Amino acid sequence: MSTRPRFLVFCAAVLIIGTLVGGYFGDPALATPSRSAEKLRAFSSMLGLIQERYMDETDSDEVVYGAIRGMLRTLDPHSNFLDPNAFREMREEQRGSFSGLGIVISVRGEEGLLTVISPIEGTPAHRAGMRAGDIISMIDGEETAGMTIGQALKKLRGKKGTTVDLIITREAAEEPLDFTITRDDIPTTSIPYAYMLRPGVGYIKIKNFTQTTSDELDQKLRALSKQGMERLILDLRANPGGLLEQAVKVSSRFLGGGKLIVYTRGRVSNSDQEYYGSDDKTGLRYPLIVMVNKGSASASEIVAGAIQDHDRGLVVGENTWGKGLVQTVYPMSHESALALTTAKYYTPSGRLIQRDYRSLEDYFTYAQMQDDESREVHYTDAGREVLSGGGITPDVEVENPETPEFIQQLVRRSVFFDFAVNLLAHVELDRSFEIDEAILTRFKKFIEEKKIEFEEEDLKNNFPYLETAIRAEVLGNLYGLEERSRALAENDLQLLQALDLFPRAQAMLAALTRTGDLAEQSETPDRQSSSRNERGATPPLNQ
């Protein structure tokens, strides 16, 4: 298989797992029994011939799974077969927890070293004293050289209460370190970062929509309110989606008043549903900016679309992915499942978000955007024009500048992370440290030792990037990934431009308040959203 088809299959798998939305159950397929039986007999005969006559031994599961996936690719980009591993991972992500050690890992460097990016605070790995930069050289007596992240995770995760033995190589440690760690339940948060970006300005990053997202959001909103939050940036960039019911609940926190948030339409009777926000009149009264980009898909687009259609906040960034198909997850035998597209979803103004997918190559590589002139015009509550059929077009488009090639090369080679680990092994730093001449001299020597070719001008011209990246990795190593995010935010040009747009968000909120569409803010965001599903359909359960 060529590199490009492999890349397309990978993109499809990532997007499909992240954007499954649905969970209600439709009617059986309308195929006649005789024709179905005839096709099944043909398939069974071919499978038998392959197993009997093919030149090499075959795995019947792989052959059948491949046939199912091929069949589904004739339908649409998002209908997909979930083998036992994929189905298990999806359920773990939706539940919001798994049993393991509590570390973020990556394969780093040309040697493919299994590296700890960060231990999660309060988890077994954190309590045992594991650190960012630790290299896991052995797991339960097996060397990790050549392991993929997926293979390593299978070994690190396991039943709660069981133990795993690790051999760790640590910078500046003379001998390898032995760890025996007992597995425990590890929460998988969907909101990794929430902090005050500026005085009065809160920032919340939602990475996906799981069963815990709305509860996590309530907790973060309360915490930031106590810190004096008066305005909010809700960051949905690179959020591939998740549970539809959670998108409804998150939207409801800001809309209130029983407003329509999304509706679905399909061929079978129970696919027509409408989802509304909480029945009370109250919506959180923060001036709101929602940030999106082309990695924002599905449930993210539901939230952004509802906020935009009801003129509740300002949508800022880049055009979103354009995924408006609903998947119902049907459990199958052998712990597998079928994620079948059963409906399309529409924003409150009637917009279909789904982008044209007649060319799967263009669809998954985002090579061809739909022309605005061919997109149907709809209108927000306040009469603003919005377009259908090509994702969510932001109210204010702000492109993310291209990162210089020199910086991209350093990131690809894990230079900033590795340098931070090396630096902290020899120099004691805290939050107040600055990138001075001594640190830059160390950095220059470090990249020379990595045999990376560069000119003095590369360092001079890219100093803002270098300063931000070094500081972010050092703070992340010392204090965790949220501190790393805070440091990166200081050079996030999309985010910095969004801060200047709050007067417009404030004006939109004031207009809603004047018309009575948004009442006074409640003290705590503890309301429950509701869904009004036509024909008694079961509410969405899965991504």
Active-site residue 381, yes or no?
Answer: no
Q: Which amino acid is at 286?
A: Y
Which CATH number covers residue 180? 2.30.42.10
**pLDDT score recorded for residue 372:** 66
Domain hosting 53: range is 3-93
Report which of 81, 96, 94 is spatially closest to residue 244, judged by C-alpha positions. 94
Residue 55 lies in a domain: yes
d(Cα 259, Cα 278) in Å, to the nearest integer? 8
Q: What is the structure's pLDDT at 82?
A: 87
In a domain, 332, yes or no: no
Single pTM value for the model: 0.81
> Is residue 360 within a helix (H) or strand (E), and if so which, with residue range?
helix 360-365
Q: Is residue 331 part of a domain?
A: no
DSSP state of 150: H
pLDDT of residue 4: 47
The three-state secondary structure class of 334 is coil
Residues 317 and 233 in one domain: yes
In a domain, 450, yes or no: yes
Residue 543 included in any domain: no
Structural domain contains residue 300: yes
| Catalytic residue selected from 184, 309, 418, 517 | 309
Q: Exactly one of 79, 214, 298, 531 is catalytic; name it.
A: 298
Residues 133 and 257 in one domain: no
DSSP structure class, residue 348: T
Q: Which of 187, 210, 235 is the last residue of a domain?
A: 187
Residue 205 catalytic?
no
- Please give the sequence-ordered ranges of beta strands (E in DSSP) within 23-82, or none if there are none: 80-82
Instruction: Report pLDDT for 351.
Output: 96
Shared domain for 269 and 393, answered yes or no, is: yes
Q: Given 68, 93, 118, which residue is the final one in a domain?
A: 93
Structure tokens at 247: 């998108």
Of the candidates 93, 109, 134, which is a domain's last residue?
93
Q: Are residues 301 and 433 in the same domain?
A: no
Catalytic residue among 323, 349, 517, 529: 323
Whether residues 131 and 249 share a domain: the answer is no
Residue 385 and residue 270 share a domain: yes
| 335 within some domain | no
Same domain, 474 and 515: no
CA–CA separation, 90 vs 152, rounded Å?
18
Number of domains observed in the structure of the chain: 4
Whose CA is closest to 475, among 193, 258, 142, 287? 193
3-state secondary structure of 241: coil
Tokens 């309301």 locate to 527
> Among this protein's residues, is 159 annotated catalytic?
no
Please tell me whether residues 253 and 388 are part of one structural domain.
yes
User: 468 with 396, same domain?
Assistant: no
pLDDT tens digits in sequence order for the chain, 543 residues long: 444 444 444 344 444 445 555 443 333 334 455 677 887 888 888 888 888 888 988 888 888 888 888 888 888 888 888 888 888 777 776 666 678 898 989 888 777 889 998 888 888 998 898 988 899 999 999 999 888 888 898 899 888 999 999 999 998 788 999 999 999 988 778 999 999 999 999 999 999 999 899 999 999 999 999 999 999 999 999 999 988 999 999 999 999 778 999 999 998 878 899 999 876 645 578 999 999 999 999 999 999 999 999 999 999 999 999 999 988 888 887 788 988 999 999 999 999 999 887 776 677 766 555 566 678 999 999 999 999 988 999 999 999 888 899 998 998 888 999 999 999 999 999 999 999 999 999 999 999 998 999 999 999 999 999 999 999 999 999 999 999 999 999 999 999 999 999 999 999 999 988 877 664 444 444 433 344 333 223 233 333
- Cα dihedral: 418, 421, 427, 431 (round 10): 110
Is 336 contained in some domain?
no
Give strand pairing partners of 186: 98
> Within 13 A of 443's CA, how many CA atoms are on the CB side?
24
